Amino acid sequence: MDFAFQDDQLLIVNKPAGLLSVPGRGDDKQDCLCARIQQRFPDALVVHRLDMATSGLMVFARGEAMQRELSRMFREREVTKRYVALVEGVLENEVGEIDLPLIVDWPNRPKSKVDHESGKPSLTRYRLLGIEDGDSRVELEPITGRTHQLRLHLASIGHPIIGDTLYDGRKAERLMLHATRLAFDHPITAKPLYFESDAPY
């Protein structure tokens, strides 16, 4: 396991693509990052999740009190998160925002959908990093944290993430989405913490 940081309060782990964050339904979906970490750190608890197909940095709390505090920090946007994605086509603008309300598409789970009547407010900021063979490498900042937010927002503006077959992306060996940066103040020491993980594509 690839630990970026560990102390008595929290763990920062680099999740590989293709591994569940938490157990799913059924005996065949019990292997997950959380279970693997708990074998070594039995007090480790989930604070947030990454999709199975997404790789990159994840935070785990050690103990329930730290889980509550870190969850509060995520909820109140005291944690800075950045992702890097490869998306189809060339973005028209170098920087921008995608502001589209999202809701779980119950008849078509696990998909979500844009719904201007019932959807929850959802905001993603993006910055173009470069053009590669006619596609765009972008840095993404999710201001909200809806299910599949980054994937659906980009697909909705005509630039699905490469490898995201759930939202009509071009087939690839993996989903080209990586949680590349986390930054927040340590809940106990108040020391600024900053972690980076380069996208493996």
Distance between terminal CA atoms of the chain? 19
Side-chain-side CA neighbours of 7 within 13 Å: the count stands at 8
Catalytic residues: 51
Contact at 8 Å (CB) between 185 and 89? no
d(CA 126, CA 95): 6
CA angle, 154 as apex, 20 and 123 as ends, to 5°? 90
Cα 129 versus chain centre, distance:
18
**CA nearest to 81, candidates 177, 174, 8:** 177
